[in-house]
Amino acid sequence: MPRKGYLTLKDAANELGVHPQTLRNWEAQGVIQLVRLPGSGYRRVPAAEVERLQAQIAGVKVIPRRARIVRPPRMSAAENQKAMLLADKIALEVSATVGGLTLDDVMYSLRGRHWSP
């Protein structure tokens, strides 16, 4: 059952497992819609937004508000092949350097759950 009401940035950040500044950044990027209190201007997070983001973090396919589509750069077949070979070379070097871990393992340890291969 969906919750009603609003949460403080601190409470919403705790529920989502992120820093409150992350929520401010997400607001600036259009990932989340926050509400400003009249008079003070403090931000509040609608409970529905917290639930939407929790579902998105959990891997449920959710279309974010004001989503923007980023198109990959146009590359020729030769450039694409060269990029793929370079990526494979980097992945091999990382696994050799970090005791057999894959590039995804290393990036996850550095970036946390926000790393998506």
The pTM (predicted TM-score) of the whole model is: 0.48
Task: Give the C-alpha separation, 65 to 50, whole Å.
Answer: 13
Question: What is the model's pLDDT at position 45?
Answer: 93
Helix axes 103-111, 77-97, angle to 10 degrees: 80
Task: Give the C-alpha separation, 63 to 90, whole Å.
Answer: 33
Q: Which domains are seen in the chain, by residue range?
A: 6-57 (1.10.1660.10), 77-114 (no CATH)
Q: Which two tokens stand for residue 28?
A: 């600036």
Q: What are the tens digits of pLDDT across the range 34-71?
A: 998 888 888 999 998 998 888 887 776 555 555 566 66
**pLDDT-based confidence at 14, cuts 50/70/90?**
very high
Compute the mean pLDDT over every residue in the chain, rounded to the nearest whole number: 79
